C-alpha cells in the first residue's frame, strides 16, 4: 500500500509541486523571520557587551516616567556630581566617571540634510578619551565648546571630514554650528556600533545640549579595584546611593539593554509571522484544492484499490501519507530558502542601518521546529478533507463510468452561513464592545472561512454573470461553462485569492478613510500655515517657543499656537500629554466650544482635558491630576475645562510652563491663523525665516500638511501590500494549479474538441477565459469582504477621529484589473499545455 502511494505520488509529482510550493513559500516566510531576528538579536548582544566591556558597574538615575517598551525609551533622571563623589569615595572603587550619553543629537550632513534614520539612536555624549573600545582615527577629541568629534560611521554617512563646520540639532531646538576636530572608530576596525551615530562634545556642552542642565550626567561608569568583584561593588554602590538609582554590573546592563531591543525585534518578528500566517492560510486553500483534484482524478484508482480489498483507513492513510511527504519536503526546502532570505534581509538591515556588524548567521532551533510543524500541520490539515472524500469513493466506481452525482451544496452553505454569522458576531463584539484585537482577528479569520464555504453557492450566479462578458465567442462560452462546472473547485481557488485581496482592500478602506478624515480635520482648523518638522529619527524635530511670539509679530498673523508633546505618568498611568504656548487662541482656531468649564484660558496649575479622556478616567472640572514629567518633581493640576474630543490638542493639555520638563523642552507643531484676507504666500516666507535655524522644521500650508500625512499612510499601505503580496502570489499559484489539473483531467475532452476543429489559439482562449473568470470572481469577493471589514473598522473608530468612510475606488478597480491580468498570466502555462495536446493521443488517453 505504501509503495502504491509512493509510486502514485511520484507519477504525479508535477501536480504536487505547486501545492508544495505554497507550503514552501509560507515556511520560507516563517523560517526567514526567525533567522533574521535571531541574527539581529545576537548581533545586538555582541554590541552591548562591547559597550559595557570597560564597565564593572554602571549607575543610572531612575526614570521619572515609566514607558512601555513599544512607545519609546524611558528617559533616566540626571545624576548630580555629588553622586559621583559619593561613589568615588567608596572602597573598592578604582575610578568613577560621569558619562553623558543621550539620544537626540542629529548632525546635518554636507548636503544640508539630517543624517540618521528611525533605527539606531543618534547619541550625543561627552568626550571621555580613548580606551580599548573607542579609538581616534583622525584628529583629536573636542577641547573647546565649539568642537566635536564624531564616529567614522556618521562622518561617512554625512560626507564630512575633520576640519568641516557642521550643524547639530539637540534638545536646544536650534541648529548649532561646530567644527569637527576628530573622528573615532571602535576596536576591530569598526566604524560604528550597530549603526549608532555618535557626536562627542566637551562635557559642559554635552550637559547643556543633551541633558538640559549643567553639571549633571546620565550615568556613572565605575571600575573596581583589583580583587573586588563587580557583584560586590554593585551592592556597595547601591547601598551608598539609595533607591533613586539603578545600579547594575556591566554584564547585567549589557543584557538589559540588549533585551530592550530584543523585545522590539520580537514584536517585529510577530508581525512578520502574522503575515506568514496569512500566506499559509491561503496556502491551505491551495493544498485542499490540489489534493481534492488529485483525489478526484484518482477516483478509479482508489476505487480499484477498494475493490481489491483496501479499507477506508488505508485510503485515508494513503492520502495523508502523501500529504506528510509533500509537507516534509516542502518544509525542508522552505527552511533552506528561509535561511537564505533571513540572511539576505539581515545583510540588508546591516547595510541600511549603517554598518551593524552581524554576528554569524545562525539558525535557531525554533526556526527549524516552526518550519516543520507549520509545514506538516498545514499540509496534513489541508489534506484531511480530501482524504475523507477519497475514503468515501465506492469500490463500484472502478467499474466503467459511475458518475459521482454532484453533491448538493446545502450542507456546506449552511455551515458557511453559520460560521459567517458567528464571525460577524465576533467582529461586532471585538470592534464595538472593545472585545480586543484577538476577537477581531478571530472574526476576520472566521469570516474568510465562512465566506469561502458560501463561495460555491455564490459561484453559480456570479460566475455565470461574469462569464457572460466572454460568451460572444465559442471558446469564451466553453471557458465560462468550464469555470462553472465544478463550483467547489472554482470556489476554493477564488476564495484563496479573496483572502489576500480582502486584506489589502480592508486596509485600503481604512487608509483612505483616515486620509479623508485627516483632510476634513485639517480643513476645519482655522490655521492657514502649519509649522512642523520632518521626522528623520526617533525624536521629532523641534523649534523654540520664542518662534511663536516672533510669528505673532508678523503682519497679517492673527494668532499662533505652539504645541509640545511627551509621555508622562498621569495618576500612575502612562499617558500622552501636550503643552501649548497659550490656550486662548485654540477655540478660535478649532472653532470649538467648551464641553465644561473654560477652554480659552489656563492658569499655571490648570489642565484642560478632552471629553473622551474625561469620560474614561472620570474626570470633571475640579478633578486634580497628579502628573510626573520626564524632569522635575510631581505636579498637581486641576481640571479647568473639558474640550470636545475631535477639537482638542491631545487628551491632556498641560499649561505652557510644563513644557520645560518635557523630554524635549521645545515645540514640535505650530498653528498659524492669518487675518481674514491675508494671502498665505505673503506670510509663509516670513515665518519660514523664523525657523531657518533648524533645517528639519518647515512651514507648510494645509494642503501640503494633508499630503504629508497621507504620504505616511500610503507608505504603510504599500508595506502591507508588499507583505500581503506573498499571500496573493500563493493564490495565483492556486489558479495555475487548478487550471493545470483541470486541463489534465479534461485531456480526452480537449482532444475531442481539437479533433472536431477547435484551433490552438481558440483552445488557449478557452482556458484563459476560465482563468480570468475565476480570478475576477475571487477579486470581487475579496473587494466586497474587504470593504465590509474595512468599513466596520472605520465605523468602530469613529470616535478616534475616523469621521469619514471613503472607499478607495481607484484601487478597487485596480485590484479587479490586476486580478483579470493575473488570470491571463495564470492561464499561460496550462493553456500552452492544452494547445500542445496531441489530438490522437488525447483521445486514446486512458
Partner 1 sequence: MEAAGRTVLVRPDHDLFTRGNQVTASDPVAARADDVWKVYGSGEAEVIALRGVSVTFQRGVFTAIMGPSGSGKSTLMHCLAGLDSVTRGEVHIGETRVTGLGDAGLTKLRRDKVGFIFQQFNLLPTLSAKENILLPLSIAGRKPDDAWFDTVIKTVALQDRLGHRPAQLSGGQQQRVACARALVARPEVIFADEPTGNLDSKSGADVLGFLRDSVKTYGQTIVMVTHDPVAASYADRVIFLADGAVVDELHSPTPDMVLDRMKKLDAPAEVTR
CB of residue 746 to partner 1, shortest distance in Å = 18
Biggest CA–CA distance in the chain, Å, is: 103
- In DSSP terms, 217 is beta-bridged to 79
Q: Does 442 bind partner 1 (CB under 8 A)?
A: no
Among 113, 140, 313, 407, binds partner 1 (CB under 8 A): 313
Q: How many residues bind partner 1 (CB under 8 A)?
A: 27
What is the chain's Cα-based Rg?
33
Among 169, 288, 310, 463, binds partner 1 (CB under 8 A): 310
Instruction: Encode burial over 199-221: b for 16+ CB neighbours within 10 A, e otherwise.
Output: bbbbbebbbbbbbbeeebbbbbb
Cα separation, 457 vs 651, in Å, equals 49
Q: Does 70 bind partner 1 (CB under 8 A)?
A: no
Q: Which is nearer to partner 1, 42 or 306 (CB)?
A: 306
Among 271, 348, 396, 813, binds partner 1 (CB under 8 A): 396
Query: In the 8-state DSSP scheme, what is residue 219?
Result: E
Cα separation, 766 vs 746, in Å, equals 13
Q: Does 403 bind partner 1 (CB under 8 A)?
A: no
Task: Specify the length of the chain in residues.
Answer: 846
Q: Which is nearer to partner 1, 72 or 395 (CB)?
A: 395
Q: Does 309 bind partner 1 (CB under 8 A)?
A: yes
Pairing of strands 93-99, 134-139: unpaired
Q: Which is nearer to partner 1, 408 or 572 (CB)?
A: 408
Q: Does 373 bind partner 1 (CB under 8 A)?
A: no
Q: Which is nearer to partner 1, 10 or 719 (CB)?
A: 10
Cα separation, 458 vs 461, in Å, equals 6
Cα separation, 381 vs 287, in Å, equals 9
Q: Does 4 bind partner 1 (CB under 8 A)?
A: yes
Measured in whole angstroms, how far is the alpha carbon of residue 483 from the centre of its chain? Answer: 37
CA 704-710-714 angle, 5° bins: 140
Cα separation, 96 vs 55, in Å, equals 10
Q: Does 798 bind partner 1 (CB under 8 A)?
A: no
Among 274, 311, 711, 841, binds partner 1 (CB under 8 A): 311
Q: Does 305 bind partner 1 (CB under 8 A)?
A: yes
Q: Which is nearer to partner 1, 530 or 744 (CB)?
A: 744
- How many C-beta atoms lie closer than 10 Å to residue 68's C-beta? 9
Cα separation, 460 vs 482, in Å, equals 12
Q: Does 718 bind partner 1 (CB under 8 A)?
A: no
Q: Does 407 bind partner 1 (CB under 8 A)?
A: no
3-state helix/strand/coil string of 290-345: HHHHHHHHCHHHHHHHHHCCCCHHHHHHHHHHHHHHHHHHHHHHHHHHHHHHHHHH
Q: Which is nearer to partner 1, 272 or 393 (CB)?
A: 393
Q: Which is nearer to partner 1, 692 or 844 (CB)?
A: 844
CB of residue 832 to partner 1, shortest distance in Å = 24
Q: Does 552 bind partner 1 (CB under 8 A)?
A: no
- What residues between 808 and 827 interact with partner 1 by CB under 8 A? none
Q: Does 844 bind partner 1 (CB under 8 A)?
A: no
- What residues between 722 and 741 interact with partner 1 by CB under 8 A? none
Q: Choose one: 225-233, 393-401, 598-606, 782-790; the region binding partner 1 (CB under 8 A).
A: 393-401
- The binding track of 491-530 with respect to partner 1, each residue x by CB under 8 A or -, is ----------------------------------------
Q: Which is nearer to partner 1, 12 or 137 (CB)?
A: 12
Q: Which is nearer to partner 1, 293 or 305 (CB)?
A: 305
Q: Does 404 bind partner 1 (CB under 8 A)?
A: no
CB of residue 312 to partner 1, shortest distance in Å = 6
Q: Which is nearer to partner 1, 4 or 553 (CB)?
A: 4
Q: Which is nearer to partner 1, 304 or 820 (CB)?
A: 304
Q: Choose one: 204-212, 231-239, 301-309, 360-368; the region binding partner 1 (CB under 8 A).
A: 301-309
CB of residue 411 to partner 1, shortest distance in Å = 21
End-to-end alpha-carbon separation of the chain, Å? 23
Q: Does 13 bind partner 1 (CB under 8 A)?
A: no
Pairing of strands 652-654, 573-580: parallel
- How many C-beta atoms lie closer than 10 Å to residue 564's C-beta? 25
**399 three-state secondary structure:** coil
Q: Does 312 bind partner 1 (CB under 8 A)?
A: yes
Q: Which is nearer to partner 1, 11 or 633 (CB)?
A: 11
Q: Does 394 bind partner 1 (CB under 8 A)?
A: yes
Q: Backbone phi, then psi, for 122, in 5-degree steps?
A: -115, 95
Measured in whole angstroms, how far is the alpha carbon of residue 19 from the centre of its chain? Answer: 28
Q: Backbone phi, then psi, for 201, in 5-degree steps?
A: -105, 175
CA 49-50-56 angle, 5° bins: 70
Cα separation, 3 vs 307, in Å, equals 18
Give the interface with partner 1 as residue ranges (CB under 8 A): 1, 3-4, 7-8, 10-11, 300-301, 304-314, 394-396, 398-400, 846
Amino acid at each position: 500500500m505504501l509503495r502504491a502511494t509512493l509510486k502514485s505520488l511520484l507519477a504525479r509529482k508535477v501536480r504536487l509541486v505547486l501545492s508544495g510550493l505554497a507550503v514552501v513559500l509560507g515556511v520560507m516566510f516563517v523560517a526567514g523571520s526567525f533567522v533574521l531576528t535571531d541574527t539581529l538579536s545576537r548581533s545586538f548582544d555582541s554590541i552591548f557587551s562591547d559597550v559595557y566591556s570597560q564597565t564593572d558597574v554602571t549607575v543610572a538615575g531612575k526614570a521619572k516616567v515609566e514607558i512601555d517598551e513599544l512607545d519609546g525609551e524611558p528617559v533616566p533622571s540626571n545624576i548630580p556630581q555629588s553622586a559621583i563623589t559619593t561613589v568615588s569615595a567608596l572602597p573598592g572603587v578604582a575610578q568613577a566617571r560621569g558619562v553623558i550619553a543621550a539620544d537626540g543629537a542629529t548632525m546635518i550632513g554636507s548636503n544640508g540634510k539630517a543624517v540618521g534614520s528611525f533605527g539606531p539612536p543618534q547619541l550625543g555624549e561627552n568626550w571621555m578619551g580613548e580606551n580599548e573600545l573607542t579609538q581616534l582615527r583622525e584628529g583629536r577629541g573636542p577641547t573647546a565648546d565649539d568642537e566635536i568629534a564624531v564616529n567614522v560611521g556618521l562622518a561617512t554617512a554625512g560626507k564630512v571630514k575633520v576640519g568641516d563646520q557642521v550643524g547639530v540639532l539637540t534638545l536646544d531646538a536650534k541648529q548649532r554650528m561646530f567644527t569637527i576636530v576628530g573622528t573615532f572608530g571602535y576596536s576591530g576596525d569598526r566604524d560604528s556600533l550597530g549603526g549608532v551615530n555618535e557626536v562627542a562634545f566637551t562635557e559642559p556642552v554635552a550637559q547643556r545640549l543633551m541633558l538640559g542642565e549643567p553639571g549633571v550626567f546620565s550615568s556613572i561608569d565605575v571600575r573596581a579595584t583589583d580583587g573586588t568583584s563587580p557583584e560586590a561593588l554593585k551592592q556597595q554602590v547601591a547601598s551608598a546611593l539609595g533607591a533613586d538609582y539603578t545600579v547594575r554590573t556591566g554584564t547585567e546592563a549589557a543584557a538589559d539593554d540588549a533585551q530592550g531591543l530584543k523585545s522590539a525585534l520580537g514584536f517585529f518578528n510577530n508581525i512578520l509571522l502574522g503575515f506568514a500566517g496569512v500566506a499559509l492560510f491561503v496556502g491551505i486553500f491551495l493544498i485542499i484544492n490540489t489534493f481534492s483534484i488529485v483525489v478526484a482524478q484518482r477516483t478509479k484508482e482508489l476505487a480499484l484499490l477498494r475493490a481489491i480489498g483496501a479499507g477506508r483507513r488505508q485510503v485515508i492513510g494513503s492520502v495523508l501519507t502523501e500529504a506528510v511527504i509533500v509537507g516534509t519536503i516542502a518544509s525542508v526546502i522552505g527552511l533552506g530558502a528561509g535561511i537564505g532570505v533571513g540572511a539576505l534581509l539581515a545583510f540588508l538591515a546591516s547595510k541600511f542601518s549603517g554598518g551593524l556588524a552581524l554576528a554569524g548567521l545562525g539558525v535557531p532551533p525554533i526556526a527549524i521546529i516552526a518550519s516543520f510543524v507549520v509545514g506538516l500541520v498545514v499540509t496534513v490539515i489541508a489534506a484531511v478533507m480530501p482524504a475523507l472524500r477519497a475514503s468515501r469513493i465506492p469500490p463500484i466506481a472502478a467499474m466503467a463510468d459511475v458518475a459521482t452525482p454532484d453533491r448538493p451544496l446545502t450542507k456546506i452553505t449552511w455551515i458557511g452561513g453559520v460560521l459567517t454569522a458567528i464571525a460577524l458576531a465576533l467582529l461586532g463584539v471585538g470592534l464595538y464592545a472593545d472585545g480586543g484585537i484577538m476577537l477581531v482577528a478571530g472574526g476576520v479569520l472566521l469570516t474568510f472561512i465562512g465566506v469561502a464555504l458560501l463561495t460555491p453557492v455564490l459561484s453559480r450566479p456570479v460566475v455565470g454573470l461574469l462569464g457572460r462578458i466572454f460568451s460572444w465567442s465559442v471558446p469564451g462560452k466553453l471557458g465560462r461553462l468550464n469555470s462553472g462546472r465544478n463550483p467547489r473547485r472554482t470556489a476554493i481557488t477564488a476564495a484563496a485569492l479573496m483572502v489576500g485581496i480582502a486584506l489589502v482592500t480592508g486596509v485600503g478602506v481604512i487608509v483612505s478613510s483616515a486620509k479623508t478624515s485627516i483632510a476634513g480635520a485639517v480643513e476645519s482648523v482655522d490655521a492657514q500655515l502649519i509649522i512642523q518638522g520632518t521626522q528623520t529619527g526617533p525624536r521629532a524635530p523641534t523649534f523654540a517657543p520664542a518662534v511663536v511670539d516672533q510669528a505673532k509679530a508678523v503682519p497679517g498673523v492673527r494668532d499662533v499656537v505652539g504645541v509640545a508633546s511627551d509621555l508622562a505618568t498621569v495618576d500612575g498611568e502612562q499617558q500622552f500629554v501636550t503643552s501649548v504656548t497659550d490656550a486662548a487662541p485654540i477655540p478660535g482656531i478649532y472653532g470649538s466650544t467648551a464641553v465644561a468649564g473654560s477652554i480659552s484660558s489656563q492658569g499655571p496649575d490648570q489642565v484642560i482635558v478632552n471629553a473622551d479622556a474625561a469620560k474614561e478616567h472620570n474626570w470633571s472640572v475640579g478633578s486634580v491630576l497628579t502628573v510626573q514629567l520626564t524632569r522635575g518633581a510631581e505636579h498637581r493640576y486641576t481640571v479647568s475645562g473639558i474640550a470636545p474630543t475631535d477639537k482638542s490638542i491631545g487628551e491632556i493639555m498641560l499649561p505652557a510652563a510644563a513644557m520645560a520638563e518635557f523630554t524635549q523642552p521645545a515645540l514640535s507643531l505650530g498653528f498659524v491663523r492669518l487675518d481674514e484676507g491675508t494671502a498665505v504666500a505673503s506670510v509663509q516666507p516670513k515665518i519660514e525665516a523664523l525657523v531657518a535655524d533648524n533645517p528639519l522644521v518647515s512651514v507648510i500650508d494645509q494642503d501640503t500638511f494633508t499630503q504629508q500625512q497621507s504620504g505616511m499612510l500610503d507608505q504603510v499601505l504599500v508595506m502591507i501590500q508588499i507583505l500581503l503580496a506573498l499571500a496573493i502570489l500563493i493564490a495565483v499559484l492556486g489558479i495555475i494549479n487548478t487550471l493545470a489539473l483541470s486541463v489534465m483531467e479534461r485531456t480526452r475532452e480537449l482532444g475531442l474538441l481539437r479533433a472536431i476543429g477547435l484551433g490552438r489559439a481558440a483552445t488557449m482562449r478557452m482556458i484563459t477565459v476560465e482563468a480570468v473568470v475565476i480570478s475576477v470572481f475571487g477579486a470581487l469577493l475579496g473587494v466586497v469582504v474587504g470593504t465590509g471589514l474595512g468599513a466596520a473598522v472605520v465605523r468602530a473608530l469613529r470616535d478616534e477621529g475616523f469621521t469619514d468612510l471613503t472607499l478607495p475606488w481607484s484601487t478597487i478597480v485596480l485590484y479587479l484589473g490586476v486580478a483579470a491580468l493575473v488570470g491571463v498570466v495564470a492561464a499561460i502555462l496550462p493553456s500552452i499545455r492544452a494547445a500542445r495536446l496531441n489530438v490522437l493521443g488525447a483521445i486514446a488517453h486512458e
